[in-house]
Structure 1
């Protein structure tokens, strides 16, 4: 995706919900797109799928998938791409599933739309996908209606439907919204597992940085329809570059915080899209704002010496760039140390498991004697 612009004409003017967004998703990668409500995350995903409701439309830029320009594709071509090559898990499974059809029939419809399978084979595939996503007794549950399932089960059905045609790209728009913490963890573990199993790219849209820390490889931070920062997950969490990213991370409650401490809050609110500041959109809320920020709009640039991108004038300063490079290098050292410790932990567990197996075998031999 390059320089994507999506607009919604209104009586009071044109709302530019997505304003020059550019990023790539590599095969087998989980890219998380984060930001407050209204930052343009979901509109970006709907633009990729070409599912914008009128009068919304893509006004500029390009979206390339597997060498094909999706904006130049006809509607019939997009119908073949949706579901088969690019699938999407929508925010609310109760409204995304048809309440008058059994869940198995809905998965069968998705499969037969994109393949020549017989109804019998498609039903077997639907049941198998329900089993893959961890639904117990899938043969029976495939005959249930959506209202007979819990929120977590419905979300798993949506994932089963999205994966039924082995897509190359899965777009998950707030896949854990309205689910309890236990089910959230299960859904995230499932997405991570299926990514590894099918080597598919995942575009994960969320406002929950806890979710991002669990499964993402890279992170794109959006604000007012623009990308304000992009980088590897570990780098971004260890040393955020943009003041907005820092504010989001500081807003997360931590166990070590004093009980009497007030939770940090980014001051102000997201500006009205019809009355945006003339300079940086975050200038009215930023603790490091300068006069230049109020006058000019920064461009998204790569920070010299790193692979990270940030939309902020702070990094026109050589001292800030040097600090960012040093912090990024330290983040990689910490990451390497943690990965080494994790490998050691796994190796110890494997050896202990092997030792337990040997003990069992010896005990069994003694019983036979």
Structure 2
């Protein structure tokens, strides 16, 4: 086991109370594995990764749980010990490379600095390694581009520089936080192919933070779905896409347009908004947006139950005693959840058609009134 996170809780004290950005989150990452963490904005994905890297901004802090990297306790590391670990054994690609790279330094100098911080090598050797890393990540003419400033590069090139910097010391774990955000589709495909190829060549593990399920299906081995700071589902990537269990996961997958969908139906949309972290609903955090909400969902927070390696946090699969339901009860609950989602989409479609008809009639009346 390379990275083991158990019952992690991260909090941000504010004037109106305490924001629980991450609540009782657990997952493991093996060497050579790509684990994806998905969810909407505000689900706690990035805060989880920053907690692992020890880069939480004040007043944020780890309030509970444990994090171990190769058996080393990360929670109680000093800042000096963390600095030795970051960039060397653990590295991170941040969301926006233009703000992560220093605009007044050439990209080569920034990569050289990262190498010399952790390894006792000369400037010449570090520069040669930086050129080699730029070549590995697919930057053409690296001997010339190493002396460019960040603003002289495209978004895809800057992202490749960030990857080269993160991989310059051969880390065992790479955390990629939205590595393809704001990149066009062709560049996204190149970046994802690069991450897979580097994983295969070096054996490093990748913790991929994203909201794009298409990226997950193409890249990841396992998936953790987060909502409001909690893990609501975890499974192998094929299992999750073929057999989603949690209503939130089902909603995310049904929100993706497909060529075989009936054109007469509107695209499914999860109703409502992510709740204010200071005003969470009682019981299940997803209860106010769930098409399959039951009375118990508004009274009690479900546990994360393990169903033969497929973990889910939902009372469709758990009884009041916190135990997994029988196979037949689960099958019945899943059928009801799918039917509820379809019914919700049909209601939304009819409401949208009525609204469009009313708008059209109002426009006709305005035109007739103007012509008089």
TM-score in same-fold range (> 0.5): yes
Structure 1 length normalisation: TM-score?
0.86
Match of 2:140 among 116, 126, 136: 136
Correspondence for 1:105:
109
Query: How many Å separate the matches in 2 of 1:314 and 1:320?
Result: 12
Query: How many Å separate the matches in 2 of 1:17 and 1:32?
Result: 18
2:125 alignment partner, SS class: helix
Q: 1:319 Cα deviation (Å)?
A: 3.7
Correspondence for 1:318:
326
Correspondence for 1:299:
303
Deviations for 1:103-136, whole angstroms, at most 9, x for unmatched residues?
0000000000000010000000000000000000
2:234 alignment partner, SS class: strand
Q: Matched residue pairs, number?
A: 324
Q: 1:257 Cα deviation (Å)?
A: 2.1
Deviations for 1:20-62, whole angstroms, at most 9, x for unmatched residues?
1000000000000000000000000000011011111111111
Q: 1:288 Cα deviation (Å)?
A: 1.0
Q: Superposition RMSD on alpha carbons, in Å? A: 1.4
Distance 1:252 1:70, change over 3 A: same
Q: 1:287 Cα deviation (Å)?
A: 1.0
Query: How many Å separate the matches in 1 of 2:268 and 2:291?
Result: 13
Query: How many Å separate the matches in 2 of 1:320 and 1:265?
Result: 29
Correspondence for 2:260:
256
2:196 alignment partner, SS class: helix
CA contact (8 A) 1:314 1:320 kept: no
Correspondence for 1:272:
276
CA contact (8 A) 2:316 2:330 kept: no
| 1:89 to 2:97 alignment | no
Deviations for 1:291-334, whole angstroms, at most 9, x for unmatched residues?
0011000011101xx1111111111231456649x99xxxxxxx
CA contact (8 A) 1:4 1:58 kept: yes
Q: Which runs of 5+ in 2 are unaligned?
A: 319-324, 336-372
2:32 alignment partner, SS class: coil
Q: 1:259 Cα deviation (Å)?
A: 3.8
Correspondence for 1:47:
51
Correspondence for 1:286:
290
| 1:22 to 2:30 alignment | no
Q: 1:12 Cα deviation (Å)?
A: 0.6
Correspondence for 1:148:
152
- 1:154-303 to 2 correspondences below 5 Å: 154-303=158-307
Query: How many Å separate the matches in 1 of 2:221 and 2:266?
Result: 31
Deviations for 1:262-315, whole angstroms, at most 9, x for unmatched residues?
111001111110011110000111111110011000011101xx1111111111
Correspondence for 2:84:
80
CA contact (8 A) 2:37 2:207 kept: yes
Distance 1:117 1:58, change over 3 A: same
Query: How many Å separate the matches in 1 of 2:331 and 2:69?
Result: 36
1:182 alignment partner, SS class: helix
Query: How many Å separate the matches in 1 of 2:30 and 2:248?
Result: 26
Query: How many Å separate the matches in 1 of 2:117 and 2:22?
Result: 31
Q: Which stretch of structure 1 is more off in the superposition, 128-137 or 309-318?
A: 309-318
1:179 alignment partner, SS class: coil
Q: Which runs of 5+ in 1 are unaligned?
A: 328-369
